[in-house]
Structure formats: C-alpha cells, structure tokens
Structure 1
C-alpha cells in the first residue's frame, strides 16, 4: 500500500511537491482555496482537501506555510509519521547579531563563508518573520524529535510563484526596455533556491526518513548580472545592464536580489544526506521564466501580491529614464 503524504499550502513549493510525490504516494493537498495549477495534475480533484488546518494524519506531512509555532502545534505526533516544515535561511545571524530582517536598522549581515546549518540564528520570539520561523522550528523539533525535518531555503524560484523575483527582469524585457539600470550587479549575490529542488529533497527525506535541519540551495549562488544574463538567454532577448551608483535617496537599480555583500548558504549537508546534487540557477530557472512570459498579467500586483510588499516601485520606468539620461 502506498504511503500517505499531506501537503499543506498551495504555492510554488506545493505545486512541485505534488509533481514529485506523484503516483508513488497517496497525496492530499490542504489549502484555503483550490489552486489553478491543480487542473494540470492527473486526476486533479481527487487529492484536494479544503482547509489548511486539521490535517487528520499521514505517514508524512509537509507544511510549506508554517510561519509560527501555532501553525504546527496542532499536528498529532501519534498520527503523523514525519513532519517536514519549510523554514527560511533568513533565520541566520552573523557574529555581530545582524540579520536580514533588521538590515535596514542594524546593517546587512556579513558572513565570511558559505552559511552552514551550525551558523548562529536569531532567538525565537514574536518580533520578526525570522524569530517566528525559529519559534516554529523549535516547536516542530519538540513535538517530533528525530521525526522532525526542517528545510531552510533562500530566494525561491519556480512556476506558480506569488513572489517571482525574476519578473523584475522579465517584465522589462517584455516591455521592450533596452537599458536596465542595476545596483552593484556583480557584488549582489543573494542565494537562490529551486522550488523543484525543495520538492526533490523532501521526497528523498520522506523515503529515507531523514531527520534534522537542512539548507536547500542552488549549488552556486549567481550574481544579479548572472541572473540577468540567464533570463536574457532563456527569453532569447537582450538588453544592456547599466551599473548605477548606490544612493541613499534612490532605489533605482535595486532588484529583488540586491544586497551590499553576498548572502550565500551551503547545501552540502542535504546533498550528502539525500545522495542527490543541488540544482543550478542555469538552466533550472528556465521553466519559471517561461511560465512568467506565458502569464505576464495585465495586473501584476494582483497576480503577484508579494511583489507589492517591496518598499519601492519595482517598475518606475520614468525615474529610471531620468537617471539613465543624467549619466
């Protein structure tokens, strides 16, 4: 008899999980509403269960939207064989206690090497996204012990994303922008993670019953310039990247990956434990980029709500043109 897996959430990670677990597992999908992508799946409505809470039990539960301890304390260890929770690499802090969440106030964190799982993290608490994620991680580990698995990805890409960072370049190319201002394109290396890779590692973990905490990341964290050229290649379009100087009064050239120094995580532990290599941004981001081209919504704010959270206008072409003309 096939083992059962309950997938909680309906975003890009859940989409890849359903694809990965396929016919090998008995799948139920728990979400607030029926995702559009479910129609692409074989027998698309058979495995859909409305509601994110009250998962009755399964050999494995994978929670893609657990943000705080209250999101996981309802799972019954007597009815769930393994709990895999998706956390975030934002939980790490440097030797000075600096974090991604508080970079605007305390400065951007500085890591001399790739960030491994034994790097210090923020303290658990209610204050920030990352402190709540650590509080969630602790609750999972307390409930499930060796049957708990924590995954820490970084900047996730994939089809059906609500936060498609790649759209920053894709929309400009589709809009015919020939010159694209970019802030420190070679220094900026903000670790990328494939949603499909998260699903692949989750499947290996579920099959082999592997517990612990694992970074999930592309083998190489590309720079903003490398991301741009990958997207140009995927779309067979070209534009000129124009490096603009940093200015506190301006956000021109600031991309969703723009950071003043590299933020890169090490996924070697996961690769060794699961006996599978990590992904690479090129070519693995190609499908996500093609999905964005096909989607290209007239109302990008409604389609990609998490892009609206950025505290600046992602597509202020008039301001960009003014800066480019002044250079």
Structure 2
C-alpha cells in the first residue's frame, strides 16, 4: 500500500524539496501551506494555518503515515504536533544547528564577536549541550520544541540543519557574493582570512534525510549537513567563477571597522556538524555537494533579482543584513585610508 506523507510548510524552499523527493520515491503527498500552489501528479495541495488547530486537523483528514513539519518554531507547535498521535504514525521536524552551546554557555544567537563566540568541538556531535529551553531566542524556542516532541509518545526525528541553501530561499546568503559579482565589485574583502567554515545544508540533502527518517521511524536527534562544507573563500571563488568575475582579494586577520569583511558565513571559529549518526542510523548518503548545487542556486538568484529590486526579491536578506552588506562607499574609504589608493586602480 502506498505510504502517505503530510508536509507542512510545503510552499517554502525546504518543503518543496521534501515534497518532490517523497513523490520521487513513491509516497502519496499532501502539501500543506498558507498559500496554494500547483503541484505535480501525486501531490494534493491544501491551504492550512498551522496556528489554527482545527485547520490542521481538517487538512490531515483521516491520517498519514508521516508528518513532516518544516515550520515548527515553538513549544506550542511541539504540543500541537504531539497531540496528533491518532492521525500520524511518526513525524520529522526541522530544528537548527544554532541550538548548540559551548561549555561556557556561548551560543550563535548571542555572540557578538570573538570573545563570546562558541568554541565547539570540530565536528559538533548531537550530544553537544544545547541552550536551555525557553521563549527568549530563536534557539531557546527550538530547544523547547525539541523537548516536547522527544518526550512525547509520537516517534519523532528532529533534524538540525546548518545554513540552508537552495532555490526559493527567503534568506539566500549567496546573494552577498552574487550581487557583488553582478556589480563587478573590483575588491573582495574577507574577514578571518576567508577561512570561516559555517556548515551548509542544501535543500536536496535535507530532503533526502527527511525521506530516510520517514522510512525508518524513530525518536532521535540528527545533524543535517552537506559533505565537505566550503570555507567562505571557497564559496566566494566558486560563485565568482560562475559569473566570470575576478576581484582583487583582501584577506583580513579578523574584521575591519563596522564589520568590513563580514559575510553571512563569517565566524571566528569553525562551526561544523558531525554527520556520522545520520550515516549510521539512517544510511544517509548526500545526494549532492554544496558546490555542485551552487549553479542552480546562482541561476535562480540572478533571475529573481532581475525581475524586481533585490530588496523586494529577498526581503529577509535585506532585513537581516541590510545595506551594510553592500556598503561599497565605506569599504572604499577604508581601503583608501589603508593603502593610499582607490580600490581597483
């Protein structure tokens, strides 16, 4: 009998990848989201408000083998999902690698620089301590969510992805280098000598892990990431090569004034996930690498930005990184004061 999956948040970048992967492997999928969209054969789209229990219950109908939650963020969401044991056989829920804390309690959410940036083992295992649960930050809310689910009677796989990358992203970190390449920015300034490593997770690999967890129900926490993640310098080089851009490179030992040299992946210490548990428990084998997946993402970014102002195309990027991501005047002034010449001359 064909297995049935319900994917909540199906209209987002991760949800869409999950839907397509499950269908490819023979699942019958119900795609739930705040807005309806057209799907391929084998997918039933439903409009659902996850903050309305009745709406979710109606959308679930007579039940599904697995519930995939791509938009769970709070303890309340966890309680809502834990209460669906009569309608779903198991669940796969997305958390985040930001939940980890070091031995001094330092976390990604609260870090302001080198002094309080978490000093993690490399790579980070799932056994690493986390922030305490609570309502204060994105990560404490995620831990509260995790705790409710892992203490429920519902078999739940909690996945902790890194910096998610893929077409359709609302926060496409890659736009930082794509726009600079399109602008033919003559200088590329990278803090921490471009050696920052902030583990990426392509949507294709995350969807594959969801599929494997759906096929092997259980209660566990697993890291989710790409094989051999790239450094910031390697990401910049890969994107520049695709767009035939050759900027002059300036590598700084840390960051310049006002964050000059900071990118969306810039961290003073490596933040890399241990993937061996996913390999051992689920037989996880990545379906792609970050660099192999980059061309499709770069093509999407160029096309999306070409249709409208980039701040409209990527509003969350604009909110998170703001104009500072492309403050060329400040960079030029700093470079001129540092070298006595205008950059690019």
- What SS class does the counterpart of residue 150 from structure 1 fall into? strand
Note closer, same or farther for the CA distance 1:216–1:127 as it changes in structure 2 (3 Å cut): same
Give the TM-score normalised by structure 2. 0.87
Q: Once the 2 structures are TM-superposed, how far is the Cα of residue 210 of structure 1 from its aligned partner? A: 4.1
**Counterpart position of 1:79:** 87
The within-5 A match list for 1:101-180 is: 101-104=109-112, 107-145=116-154, 147-180=155-188
Does residue 6 in structure 1 map to residue 6 in structure 2?
A: yes
Give the TM-score normalised by structure 1. 0.91
Does residue 288 in structure 1 map to residue 289 in structure 2?
A: no
Q: Once the 2 structures are TM-superposed, how far is the Cα of residue 233 of structure 1 from its aligned partner? A: 3.0
Hey, what's the Cα distance between the residues in 2 that align with 1:80 and 1:230? Answer: 42
Q: Once the 2 structures are TM-superposed, how far is the Cα of residue 211 of structure 1 from its aligned partner? A: 3.4
Note closer, same or farther for the CA distance 1:210–1:236 as it changes in structure 2 (3 Å cut): farther
Hey, what's the Cα distance between the residues in 2 that align with 1:310 and 1:182? Answer: 19
**Counterpart position of 2:19:** 18
- What SS class does the counterpart of residue 250 from structure 1 fall into? helix
Name which of structure 1's ranges 23-32 and 152-161 shifts more when overlaid on structure 2.
Answer: 23-32
Tell me the alpha carbon deviations over residues 224-264 of structure 1, each in whole angstroms, 9 at most, x when there is no partner: 10111121233343323222454574122210001111111
- What SS class does the counterpart of residue 270 from structure 1 fall into? helix
Hey, what's the Cα distance between the residues in 1 that align with 2:241 and 2:255? Answer: 30
Hey, what's the Cα distance between the residues in 1 that align with 2:260 and 2:332? Answer: 10
Q: Give the aligned CA root-mean-square deviation in angstroms.
A: 2.0
Hey, what's the Cα distance between the residues in 1 that align with 2:3 and 2:41? Answer: 18
Name which of structure 1's ranges 169-178 and 87-96 shifts more when overlaid on structure 2.
Answer: 169-178
Q: Once the 2 structures are TM-superposed, how far is the Cα of residue 25 of structure 1 from its aligned partner? A: 1.3
Tell me the alpha carbon deviations over residues 146-203 of structure 1, each in whole angstroms, 9 at most, x when there is no partner: x110000011100100010000000111112121222124331111111111100111
Hey, what's the Cα distance between the residues in 2 that align with 1:198 and 1:245? Answer: 33
Whether the 8 Å contact between 1:205 and 1:211 is mirrored in structure 2 is: no
Hey, what's the Cα distance between the residues in 1 that align with 2:292 and 2:321? Answer: 30
Asked which structure has the greater CA Rg, the reply is 2
Could you tell me which of 29, 40, 48 is aligned with 1:51?
A: 48
Q: Once the 2 structures are TM-superposed, how far is the Cα of residue 135 of structure 1 from its aligned partner? A: 0.4
Hey, what's the Cα distance between the residues in 2 that align with 1:201 and 1:269? Answer: 12
Note closer, same or farther for the CA distance 1:13–1:144 as it changes in structure 2 (3 Å cut): farther
Hey, what's the Cα distance between the residues in 1 that align with 2:234 and 2:255? Answer: 23
Whether the 8 Å contact between 1:15 and 1:160 is mirrored in structure 2 is: no
Could you tell me which of 247, 250, 257 is aligned with 1:242?
A: 250
The within-5 A match list for 1:291-302 is: 291-297=300-306, 298-302=308-312
Hey, what's the Cα distance between the residues in 1 that align with 2:167 and 2:183? Answer: 21
Does residue 216 in structure 1 map to residue 224 in structure 2?
A: yes
Hey, what's the Cα distance between the residues in 2 that align with 1:77 and 1:185? Answer: 50
**Counterpart position of 1:310:** 320
Give structure 2 stretches of 5+ with no counterpart: 51-55, 340-345
The aligned length equals 321
Hey, what's the Cα distance between the residues in 1 that align with 2:236 and 2:153? Answer: 42
Give structure 1 stretches of 5+ with no counterpart: none
Q: Once the 2 structures are TM-superposed, how far is the Cα of residue 305 of structure 1 from its aligned partner? A: 2.4
